[in-house]
Amino acid sequence: NDLLADIMSFTSIIILEIQNWFPNDPFVEAIGIFKLSDELLNNENLLEFGNKELDLLLDIYGKPQFPLFSYAIVDSNNTRTEWLHFKKLIYEDYQNLSIDKLLILLFRYYSSSYPNLIRLLAIISFSSVECKRGFSRQNLIKTKLRTTLNNDILNMLMMVGLEGADEAEFNFNDALDI
């Protein structure tokens, strides 16, 4: 009986932790419009699909976000128009294409037709892996001994750590010659 109570308690704690780890965030759900689910392939709701989610994204990226951005990243009205044409394009020509291949086509052949949608896609992370890598790198760089490190230096060190060559592959002699 005690074992069963312990199992139930443990299971409840695990479920709560999972729910906290993956919250129901409207922003995260709004990003999902770019997955282009089977709902989009239904002509009956083609005009309505993703409009509410796009409006949520435009509330963030379609107007200045002081002090971070003094300008809007995308033009809201043009983005709505692009979204409508983009949905029609997918429905008419690319229904059976996976999202990976679809995004490659979009960037390669339609970048001038959908510049605002491409900007949205470029700033939205589809995975938290990059974010976790960034925090991990930050924690390796900004230790207790480096608490006075300013943001500019921290940013440069993080860029080198995240984007630079692996130490085993890096030629330190060439770096000294520069």
pTM of the predicted structure, to 2 decimals = 0.60
Q: Is the peptide bond before 23 cis (omega within 30 degrees of 0)?
A: no
- Residue 68 CA to residue 24 CA, distance in Å, equals 25
Residues 115-134 pLDDT 10s: 999 998 888 766 667 778 88
Residues 4-42 pLDDT 10s: 888 889 888 888 887 777 667 787 778 778 776 666 666
pLDDT at 52: 93
In this structure, what is the dihedral angle of CA atoms 58, 61, 65, 70, given to the nearest 10 degrees?
Answer: -120
What is the residue extent of each domain of the chain?
24-123, 129-177
Cβ–Cβ under 8 Å, residues 49 and 40: yes
Smallest CA-to-CA distance from 125 within 50, 23, 28 is with 28
Q: Is 79 exposed, middle or buried (0-12, 13-18, 19+ CB in 10 A)?
A: buried
pLDDT, average across residues 132-146: 85
CA distances from 116 to 54, 55, 84, 144, 153 (A): 12, 13, 12, 42, 32
Instruction: Give 96 or 153, the one with higher predicted confidence.
Output: 153
Check residue 36 and give left, alpha or beta (phi > 0: left; psi -120 to 50: alpha).
left
